[in-house]
Amino acid sequence: MSILDKFKSGLARSKTGFIGRLDNLFGSGELNEEFYEELEEILVTGDVGVETSLKISSELREEAGRRKIKTREEFRLLLQDKISEILKSEPEDEIPAEKPLVILMVGVNGSGKTTSAAKLAHIYKNRGDKVLLVAGDTFRAAAVEQLEIWAERTGVEIIKQQSGSDPSALFFDAINSARARGVDVLIGDTAGRLHNKYNLMEELNKIYRVIGRNLPGAPHQILLVVDATTGQNAMAQAKSFNESLPLNGLILTKLDGTARGGIVIGIQDTLGIPVRYIGTGEKMDDLAPFDPILFTRALLET
């Protein structure tokens, strides 16, 4: 299945939800006040967010006036261009001179961090890189077991410690082990934590500092894994985690489980953090590198 097909499959519920309403809006009719009010309402209920929805509507109203656009079908193309402009693409980080490339996965409980870590390992392994998974959720034995199963399926190595161990010490040892084994990419799972719990967020920051002391410049990617079905709560999570850690990417999971796929647009516009991967299912291959043009096509093309 192509990436475009993956996006279309993942957005199937959105197609019958807010995107279906957009399709109806872009039928016949004038570009009048009623049209713009309905456009804003559809975008807001699609989890694009109030500020972003109002901004998009206002900017496109001006653009339509400048270009003397009269039909709603022509306006659809304007909206498609605007969304592609908001959604920035980010290339995968290259393997640094001093290996490994360190990727730290963070997020709240139930967001899909552990499975996303394994699927990401699968992507890098298929690229020809030697990958090491780190079972950094030392508080939940089930998470370690789950990652072990995924590592076996993927055919990558895993490093772990006993339940209750210090996760910072585990990551310190994991980097040393990765150097010794000639690992290209180290992907670290972490315990889920509520974004509004100060002590837990401080612990995550300690992991970040320990990694940086052992390998300057690392972690090279800090990816926040958010569940698309949580809607605007995903926005709150992203804001809070970004205040504690220098996030440089998002993995949006369970996109196939929501009818309001506009959250992708809202998060990226509000926070300026690029979406790097989209999760569209439970299978090993159901994590796709984010492509803004293909995503917008899947979102708006009839």
What would the pLDDT profile of 193-252 be if each residue is shown by its tens digit?
A: 775 566 778 889 999 999 999 999 999 999 999 888 887 788 888 888 888 899 989 998
**Which pLDDT tens digit goes with each residue over 44-56?**
888 888 999 999 9
| pLDDT tens profile 7-58 | 777 777 666 677 788 888 988 888 999 999 999 998 988 888 899 999 999 9
From CA 221, how far away is CA 95, in angstroms rounded?
A: 11
Q: What is the pLDDT of residue 15?
A: 60
CA distance 12 to 2: 15
pLDDT for the residue 34? 94
Instruction: Give the residue-averaged pLDDT of 181-196.
Output: 87
pTM as predicted: 0.88
How does residue 302 score in pLDDT terms, banded at 50, 70 and 90?
low
Q: What is the pLDDT of residues 109-124, one digit of tens each?
A: 888 999 999 999 999 9
Residue 258 is predicted with a pLDDT of 64
Most confident of 74-83, 86-95, 193-202, 256-265: 74-83
Rg (CA), the chain: 21
pLDDT, one tens digit per residue, over 260-297 is 667 888 888 888 888 999 887 788 888 989 888 888 88
